[in-house]
Amino acid sequence: MNSTIVSNLEWLQDRIRQAARAGGRDPAQVRLVAVSKTQPAAAVNAAVAAGQTLFGENRVQEARYKIPQVTGSSVDWHLIGPLQRNKVKVAVELFQMIHSVDSVALAEDINRRVPGPDPLPVLLQINVGREPQKHGLLPEETAAALEAIAPLSRIAVKGLMTIPPFEPDPEMVRPHFRALADLAQRLERLNLPGVSMAELSMGMSHDFEAAVAEGATLVRIGTALFGERSTRP
Ligand SMILES: *Cc1c(COP(=O)(O)O)cnc(C)c1O
């Protein structure tokens, strides 16, 4: 077992617990998504051996190759990166949740491909920082998109996800996390059938504590667990 991964995992869980308590939250409501993109299956297996059961990948092709090499029966995989239309069919078979639904058209594609009988949990990706180069619905587009997506019976919206602008100081990212939590609260009041806003996927290696303080339920952490990535994601 890789001792660095074991100690990083312990350290992260500790920090997540402390950030949750400091924010007046129940630590059990925050799950760590171990982001294993560019990492070999051996690193994932080391994390599994240390008790980690939830992993995130950002590319379907890479996940398709890696997932069969991971041992352990109760491991869940979340897609956290952009999903191209021609990869939807494979993605719905590989992943237990898709964090990156950023259009009604993509939601409809996923809905057509989910084999069923259970609906596939998805999150709507929101571009809270309004960055032109980033994926995601703009906050003001989200209610209309959600109204169109809610009736799709083979997907179940569980909440929102964001990749905020990078700021060297995590405290500067905090308003973006708060904006996502506020948006989720507003959307919840629409009371759309089958739609939940329970999950907030936000926070990465350098800013997860601020995200947890603002209500994150899924923190997506790569480098702080596995170390620097050797290749570009
Ligand atoms: C790579 C990635 C992460 C993890 O980033 P780290 O800084 O390595 O923790 C989180 N979310 C998404 C969408 C990513 O692509």
CATH number at 100 reads 3.20.20.10
Task: State which ligand 1 atom lies nearest to the alpha carbon of 99.
Answer: 13
Return the pLDDT at 32.
98
Q: What is the pLDDT of residue 72?
A: 78
What total number of domains does the chain contain?
A: 1
Which is the closest atom of ligand 1 to the Cα of 37?
A: 1
- pTM for this prediction: 0.97
Res 16: pLDDT: 98
Amino acid 231: pLDDT: 61
Please report the atom of ligand 1 found closest to the CA of residue 100: 13
Q: Domain of residue 60: give its range.
A: 3-226
pLDDT along the chain (233 residues), means of 10: 88 98 96 97 95 97 96 91 97 98 98 94 98 97 98 98 96 97 98 97 98 98 92 54
Give me the pLDDT at residue 228, please: 87
- What are the DSSP E strand ranges found in the chain? 31-35, 54-57, 76-79, 97-101, 120-126, 155-162, 199-201, 218-221
Atom 10 in ligand 1: residue holding the nearest Cα: 220
Q: Give a yes or no: residue 126 inside a domain.
A: yes
Mutation choice for ligand 1 from 220, 229, 232, CB with most ligand atoms inside 8 A: 220
Question: What is the predicted pLDDT for the residue at 147?
Answer: 98
Give CA–CA dist 63/24, Å, rounded: 36
Is 233 within a domain? no
206 is a domain residue: yes
CB 117 within 8 A of CB 158: no
Token pair, residue 108, equals: 């409809």
What local confidence, expressed as pLDDT, does residue 71 receive?
87
Cα 221 to averaged position of ligand 1 atoms, centre (Å): 6
Cβ–ligand 1 contact at 79 (below 6 Å): no
Q: Is the CB of 136 under 6 A from ligand 1?
A: no
